[in-house]
Amino acid sequence: MTKRALITGVTGQDGAYLSQLLLARGYEVHGLLRRSASADVIAERLRWLGIQDQVKLLDGNLTDISSLIRVLNECAPDEVYNLGAQSFVKASWNQPLLTGQVTAMGAANLLEAVRLVRPQARFYQASSSEMYGMIQETVQNERTPFYPRSPYAVSKLYAHWLTVNYRESFAMHASSGILFNHESPLRGIEFVTRKVTDGVARIKLGLATELSMGNLDATRDWGHARDYVKGMWLMLQQEVPDDYVLATGRTTSVREFCRLAFAHVGLDYEEYVKVDPAFLRPAEVDVLHGDAAKARQVLGWAPETSLEAMIGEMVEADLARHGARMKG
Ligand code: NDP
Ligand code: GDR
């Protein structure tokens, strides 16, 4: 029997890689698509992976439960992956209510719609290491207390606990993946890693002379999105639903990330990177460092891509993108 999956956030970084993984495993993949005036660019990431014609896009929005009920009735999924969110932390201070409506209440809408329409479906919630915020333990795992530091993180915390609550209240197969930062050539341009690799490519090709950055001392546990979507899928293949941290166990500063990315093209980051206070945040998450021992033991999951390999892949992809644009 062909399994059917519904992915919210299918047009985002993780949605694209997860679609690719599920298609390769023989799934019928449905994606929730929010209406946009720029219809020509909506499936850009799916197109990049060459799978735009294989994913069935269904019109809907996480803030509109009626659309979720319709979509669940239409595609009758066996697995539901809730990846849709206002996911940019910095933007969440400028749009705290929208962030709450999409990232927190959107998850509530979807959980409730699944409970009403498709309670047998397995549910994945995209929780985040941002929930640890002002860290309470040097290395964070599933038992580490949370201390969110942004409207985004507060919203994710609500969605996380609601997922746990629906599992405990209604015996739903609902799992939450507490994922540390994961990146790729498909990462949105405003996130720090892609901003840096795009900046490196532009400087290398003579299209820019400097790169303005925020807090260079923040450290993150960065992995590759392709490895992390496999962990999401593995969580839903377990008999018993549960929560899992996915992380590499290595933490690196933004400054070191810059050094590595510029060094990939033979440049010294110190000559190009400037600090601009406009990119600082009202409250910062200084350090994140994850412990994915439980995922390793129970799911058999382990990250496969090193930070250096990922940076190389991202810089090369941005060089190719800008190179192609320059040719015309
Ligand atoms: P992206 O920002 O790339 O993708 C977000 C997706 O959510 C997009 O498809 C976007 O659609 C969609 N979306 C936004 N608002 C709505 C809405 N109102 N209704 C329906 N869909 C909506 O995020 P990532 O792929 O990086 O992350 C996936 C999920 O995992 C997110 O929930 C994120 O918060 C979470 N997460 C990500 C981590 C990471 O390091 N990448 C780490 C931990 C958690 P559109 O294309 O139209 O904008
Ligand atoms: P984050 O990712 O907030 O961790 O959330 P982001 O890449 O935006 O920031 C990481 C760190 O880099 C510092 N930083 C900068 N960040 C950006 N965007 N731009 C800059 O110029 C810059 N300079 C320094 C930030 O201050 C921060 O400390 C991501 C998102 O994908 C969330 O959705 C997800 O939940 C978490 O990762 C885990």
Minimum CA distance residue for ligand 1 atom 6 = 9
CATH number for the 188-220+252-284+306-327 domain, one of 3.10.580.10, 3.90.25.10, 3.30.930.10, 3.40.1010.10? 3.90.25.10
Q: Is the CB of 9 under 6 A from ligand 1?
A: yes
In terms of C-beta distances under 8 Å and separation of at least 24 residues, what long-range contacts does 97-102 make, across chains too? 99/151, 99/152, 99/155, 100/151, 100/154, 100/155, 100/158, 101/63, 102/62, 102/63, 102/155
Minimum CA distance residue for ligand 2 atom 22 = 214
What would the pLDDT profile of 110-164 be if each residue is shown by its tens digit? Answer: 999 999 999 999 999 999 999 999 999 999 999 999 999 999 999 999 999 999 9
- Write down the pLDDT at residue 36: 85
Q: Is the CB of 63 under 6 A from ligand 1?
A: yes
Distance between CA atoms of 199 and 207, rounded to whole angstroms? 9
**Atom of ligand 2 minimally distant from the CA of 128:** 35
Closest of 23, 28, 26, 24 to residue 4, by C-alpha: 28
CA of 220 to the centre of ligand 2 (A): 8
What band does 38 get if pLDDT is binned at 50, 70 and 90?
Answer: confident
Distance between CA atoms of 261 and 75, rounded to whole angstroms? 42
Minimum CA distance residue for ligand 1 atom 13 = 84
- Write down the pLDDT at residue 37: 81
Any idea where the domains of the chain sit in the sequence? 4-182+222-246, 188-220+252-284+306-327
Q: Work out the end-to-end distance of the chain between its first and last CA atoms, rounded to an integer number of angstroms.
A: 47
CA of 187 to the centre of ligand 2 (A): 11
- Write down the pLDDT at residue 244: 99
What would the pLDDT profile of 90-100 be if each residue is shown by its tens digit? Answer: 999 999 999 99
Which ligand has the shortest distance to the CA of 148? 2
Minimum CA distance residue for ligand 2 atom 38 = 181
Minimum CA distance residue for ligand 2 atom 23 = 214
Q: Going by DSSP bridges, is the β-strand pair 273-275/223-224 parallel, antiparallel, or unpaired?
A: unpaired
Question: H/E element holding 127?
Answer: strand 122-128
Distance between CA atoms of 192 and 273, rounded to whole angstroms? 13
The pTM (predicted TM-score) of the whole model is 0.98
For residue 40, is pLDDT > 80?
Answer: no
In terms of C-beta distances under 8 Å and separation of at least 24 residues, what long-range contacts does 248-251 make, across chains too? 248/180, 248/221, 248/222, 248/223, 248/290, 248/292, 248/303, 248/307, 249/139, 249/221, 249/289, 249/290, 249/291, 249/292, 250/221, 250/289, 250/307, 251/219, 251/220, 251/221, 251/287, 251/288, 251/289
Quick check: helix, strand or coil at residue 180?
Answer: coil
Q: Is the CB of 281 under 6 A from ligand 2?
A: yes
For residue 39, is pLDDT > 80?
Answer: no
CA of 66 to the centre of ligand 2 (A): 33
Average pLDDT of span 166-170: 98
What would the pLDDT profile of 256-272 be if each residue is shown by its tens digit? Answer: 999 999 999 999 999 99
Average pLDDT of span 37-50: 86
User: What CATH number has the domain spanning 4-182+222-246?
Assistant: 3.40.50.720
Kindly give the interhelix angle for 225-236 and 13-24, rounded to the nearest 10 degrees: 60
Minimum CA distance residue for ligand 1 atom 10 = 9
- Write down the pLDDT at residue 328: 77
- Write down the pLDDT at residue 148: 98
Q: Is the CB of 57 under 6 A from ligand 1?
A: no
Pocket test for ligand 2, best of 102, 103, 192 (most atoms within 8 A of CB): 192
Amino acid at 12: G
In terms of C-beta distances under 8 Å and separation of at least 24 residues, what long-range contacts does 233-239 make, across chains too? 233/18, 233/21, 233/22, 233/25, 234/295, 234/299, 234/300, 234/301, 235/124, 235/175, 235/177, 235/299, 236/79, 236/81, 236/122, 236/124, 236/173, 236/175, 238/175, 238/298, 238/299
Q: Is the CB of 87 under 6 A from ligand 2?
A: yes
- Write down the pLDDT at residue 187: 98
Minimum CA distance residue for ligand 2 atom 21 = 213
Closest of 246, 243, 219, 223 to residue 300, by C-alpha: 246
